[in-house]
Structure 1
Amino acid sequence: MVTRSGQFHLERPGIVNHRGLQRRRTILLENGLTCTDDLHTWADAASSLSVDELIAAGDWILRPRSTRTVGDLASVLPRRMRGVRTARAALLEIRPGSASPMETKTRLQLVRGGLPEPELNVTVTDEGGWLGIVDLFWRRWRLVVEYDGRHHVERQKTWERDVARERAFRDAGYDYERLISRNVNGRTPDALAIVRRALVRAGWRPGVA
């Protein structure tokens, strides 16, 4: 809960209080409630979220077609506030373009594991035209990596479309890897190993720019 400086605020379990509402931008919701905007809400959440949770929230604010930037997130951080160190650490790893928290988690595992940074949710084309928008893309090594949630295998039409999409990328000369939840969240996550092998096949070498 955010109140104006000097104003009474509730003390209740589960409620984190912040002062300085007059210094925050607010928006009016459809239900008539007023809340802080996405940037200030993200900054206030730094007092209760972990670094990775804050990265996922920041990535969501900078999702595809968003006009927000990492600089916008940095601009709302005061020098002193609860969680400012967490927020500053998160800013170093927030990237524009992730379309879901699982895409963020996948990217973090890969990059922290020593792999080069991918482009996120970019449109890929070849001589024949448009191929598709992909989750993770290493242009130099012509590698596409997609994270598929449960709905991709539960819906027949979606699955058929994904199979045709993968074939189109491979026919155009791209390597294509599909990751699912157990590759990222399982007891022994192997997303890093899968993508690392694909990059090495394509000519990437660790430690070589």
Structure 2
Amino acid sequence: MVYPLNVTLRADSARVRERMLAAARARIAAGDLELPLNAIAKDAGVGVGTVYRHFADRQALLESLASDGFRELVAAAAAAADNPDIADGLRNLLRAGLNHQLADPALAAILSAPESQDAEILALARELLTLSERVLDRARAAGVIRPDIVPDDVRRLTCGLQHAIRSGDDDDAAIDRYLDILLRGLRP
């Protein structure tokens, strides 16, 4: 049995799961995005079968790691959709998407490969898509972006930007410059 993200676990099982997630976060912080499940088991001090009971594979582990960041990104999209200044809302959404990906490599990996296995992540992805479409519809109507821009374009472009930023040692000024370049490219 594999435990989905939204299942309530017994206290001891929850502690073990958190140890495994902490081990995975430590590997990511050290630059290891491969996350071999046998290494996670060793780092967490559990058997590999225990890891597989919680996470069917690396993708499931990444989704568990990224769930909080995904929720925060959905909240940022909701704020952007409700912003009376849609140009500001769009910029805030793009900046939030970029910042969340830079802060959370698991989220960046999930967003760059949009196929998900977990029901909670799928629901969050649908909600993000709906909110992003609302932002883009308003932005198109206000003449802020080109009429052919769709949410998947924005996802791919922000994933590309985070990769470009990670490839150098850029500061916030460079991030803002890249974001400005992106926004100029989206204009009609």
The alignment's TM-score, normalised by the length of structure 1, stands at 0.27
Q: Which has the larger radius of gyration?
A: 1
The structure carrying a bigger strand percent of its residues is: 1
Q: Which has the higher contact order (CA 8 A, sep 6+)?
A: 2
The structure carrying a bigger helix percent of its residues is: 2
